[in-house]
Structure 1
Amino acid sequence: MSDLTALTDATFQEAIAQGVTLVDFWAPWCGPCKALTPVLEKVAQDMAGQARILKMDIDANPDTAAALGIMSIPALVLFKDGKRVDQRGSQSAAQIRALIESAL
């Protein structure tokens, strides 16, 4: 089970409002999404205090994904103080760290 905090459509805006936040849009049936989870957990641990990594199940919370135009998963969307600054697909741990560091 993931140690990453799960977001809902109701909690999304408040969660991304301050600081640097990477949101992993995923679904339980998505194999590549499941494979990415341990990578994200490691990066979240390494970057604790600098940035947060959160998860959003698009099947359970379709409104936010639709509003952001998420068309494929996994989708990693980087926010800084509530504004989207980048979006990527599946990435390595080093690529995710570099992405987050670019917004710090």
Structure 2
Amino acid sequence: MSAAARRVLAALYAVTVTETPYGGQARTYELLGQIWLNPGKVGGRRRSGPDGQQRIETWRVTTGLDPRLNAGRVLEFEGVRWRILAVATGPAETDLELERLA
């Protein structure tokens, strides 16, 4: 079975970032529900960081229309968390660009 033919059930989370009393950040993940994804093309890009250049894994997926899908939210499937970078809504489906969280 090809990757394009299979469907994956993913959990959708809203992420809230709050500052701790010591100047750090705490992230809270609120479960919003589950959605079915049709995985597509896996890719990658390079990002500059404090440790130099690093490769960031990206993935394009397709799903049905869902108003809960917004950039910045997190999807978790197959044991990995992915941040939604971009949302493109068409007449019958939504294309998402995801970035793997470390």
Common topology (TM > 0.5)? no
In terms of fraction of residues, the more strand-rich structure is: 2
TM-score relative to the length of structure 1: 0.24
**Larger-Rg structure:** 2
In terms of fraction of residues, the more helix-rich structure is: 1
Per chain length, whose mean CA-contact separation is higher, i.e. which structure has more relative contact order (CA < 8 Å, sep 6+)?
1
